[in-house]
Amino acid sequence: MPSPGDPIGQSLPPEDSFLELLAETLENLDRSARGQFLQRFFKTIAQMDLTEALSLDSWEQILHRRRELAESLSKPVSLKRAIVDVLASSNYLRVPILMEYDELKKLQISAATDSLTGLYNRRFLEDQYEKELNRALRYSHHLAIVLLDLHQFKDVNDRYGHPRGDALLRTAAATLRKSLRTSDYAFRIGGDEFALLLVQSDMEQATTLARRVRANFAAAAEPMQLGVSIGLDYGLAVYPDDGDQKEALIRVADERLYEMKRDATSQPQPGPAQRIPAPPASAIPATSSWKVPPVGAKSSFTGTERRKWERVPLAETRAYAQLAADPKKTARVLDLSYGGLALEIEASEDLGPTFHAVLHVPILPPVRVGLRPLYKERGPSGLIRVGCAFIT
C-alpha cells in the first residue's frame, strides 16, 4: 500500500502532483505547523472555516479514506478523489475549486459505486440508510432493508474460477436493478452479499419484491448452466414493525437471512439435473378418485382416506410457485408429493382447468411444471387451498 507521499502513476495531472507533494511535505511538519497549514488549505480550496484540530482530523480522514478506496479497488487512488469523497460526505464541501463541477460529480459517483457490479457500495448504504430512516421516522412511512447473498457461490468459484463468479455477480446486480422501483436502492456490500433499501415498503410489499428478485435471478442465471443449485437467499426487516434503530433492523434482517440459509442447507443437496417428476398418465385417470369438493367443504384427502402419495409439508419453508400466466403473481406452496402439490391462493384467483407454474422450493433449483387443479377448500384466513396434480 503506498504511503501518502508515494506517486500513484508515472504521469500525473498538475493538481494531483501538487497534492502528492503536499502530503509528503506535511508528513515532515510538526503537528502545530501542520494544523495551521491545513486550516488555510481547506479555507482556500473549499471556503471551509475549520479549527486547526478539525483541519487535522479531516486530513487524517482523507488519508484513511484513500487507503480504504485503494484496498477496495485493488489499485492506487488519487488524493483528490479521497478529498472530495470525505469533504462531500461531511457536508463541508461548498465551493470546490480543485476541479470542474462535472469532474466533481464523477468522483462522487465513483466513490459511492462498486466497481465490479455498478451498484452502490457499503459506505453509501450506511449514509443513505441513515437518511431514509430519519425520513421514514419524520413522515411515519415504512422502510424495508433486505439483505441477500448468493447460495453456493463458493462452489461456482471453485468449479469455474473467479471470472465466471464475477459474471454471476454482475447477473445478480442486473437482476436487482431491473426488479426495483426508481425510488429503491441496490447495493453490493461485499463478496457475494447485496442489500436493498425499499422506500415506503411494508412487510408484505418487501416480501413480494424479494421473492420476485429471487425468481428473476433464477431465470437470469439458468442460461449460464452452472450445474450448481445457485440462488439468492434473503432476509428482511421493516421499520417500524421490527424496530426503529438502524443497527437493530440490520441485525433482524441478518438473522432472517441465515434462517433461510439454514433451511436450504438442512437437507441433502440434490444433483444439478434433479427435477420433480410427473406421475405416469395412469396415475391420474379421467374419472379420478380425487373428487373436487365445493369451496368450504371438507377435502376428500382428509379423514381416513388413504393418499396415493405421501406429502412433504412446505408451509414453513417459504416455498412458492410463480404462476406462468402472470410471473408477478405467486402462490405459497403448502405441501408437495410425487403426484402433485397444494397451493394457497386468493379466493378471486382463477387458475383454469390446467396451468403452468415455476416452483421455488428450498434446496431445489426452480422447475417449471404443468398442473391440474383437483380440489379447493377455504382456510380460516379466507385464502383457498388448491390441490393440484402434475401433468405431463
Q: What is the pLDDT of residue 127?
A: 84
Q: Which CATH architecture has domain 122-265?
A: 2-Layer Sandwich (3.30)
Determine the Cα angle at 67 with ends 61 and 71, to 5°.
145
Alpha-carbon distance 390 to 265, whole Å? 26
Cell, residue 7: 506517486
Instruction: Tell the burial category of 67 from Cβ atoms under 10 Å away from its Cβ (0-12, 13-18, 19+).
Output: middle
Per-residue pLDDT tens digits for 294-303: 333 333 333 3
Task: Label residue 4 by pLDDT band (50, 70, 90).
Answer: very low
pLDDT digits (tens, 9 = 90+) for 178-222: 989 888 999 999 889 999 999 999 999 999 999 999 999 988 988
Q: Does the model's pTM come out above 0.75?
A: no
Does this chain's domain 122-265 share its CATH topology with 281-391? no
Nearest in space to 320 (alpha carbons), one of 357, 278, 369, 280: 357
Sort strands 185-190 and 143-151 into parallel, antiparallel or unpaired: unpaired
**Set of cell numbers at residue 71:** 484496498
Q: What is the mean pLDDT of residues 339-356?
A: 87
- What are the residues facing 197 on neighbouring strands? 145, 185
Segment 332-355 mean pLDDT: 86
Of the CATH numbers 2.40.10.220, 1.10.10.10, 3.20.20.140, 3.30.590.20, which one belongs to the domain with range 281-391? 2.40.10.220
Q: What is the pLDDT of residue 305?
A: 36
Quote the cell numbers at residue 193: 452479499
First to last CA, the chain: 61
Contact call for residues 307 and 283 (beta carbons, < 8 A):
no
What pLDDT score was predicted for residue 292?
Answer: 33
**What residues does each domain of the chain span?**
14-111, 122-265, 281-391
User: In sequence order, which residues have a C-beta less than 8 Å from that of residue 68 and are 6 or more positions away?
Assistant: none
pLDDT band at 287 (very low <50, low <70, confident <90, very high): very low
Peptide bond into 272 cis (omega under 30): no
Least confident of 77-81, 239-243, 277-281, 388-392: 277-281
> Is residue 40 classed as helix, strand or coil in its secondary structure?
helix
The secondary structure of 158-194 as a DSSP string is HHH-HHHHHHHHHHHHHHHHHHS-TT-EEEEEETTEE
Residue 125 region by backbone torsions, left for phi larger than 0, else alpha for psi between -120 and 50, else beta? alpha
Q: What is the mean pLDDT of residues 290-316?
A: 47
Instruction: Give the pLDDT of residue 311.
Output: 67
User: Which position has the grid cell 421516522?
Assistant: 137
Q: Which residues sit opposite 234 in a β-bridge?
A: 148
What does 218-266 look like in DSSP terms, one character per residue? HHHHGGG--SS--EEEEEEEEETTT-SSHHHHHHHHHHHHHHHHHHHHS
Give me the residues paired with residue 237 across strands.
145
115 falls in which pLDDT band (50, 70, 90)?
A: confident
Q: Which residues contact 58 (CB under 8 A, 6 or more apart)?
A: 38, 42, 50, 86, 87, 90, 92
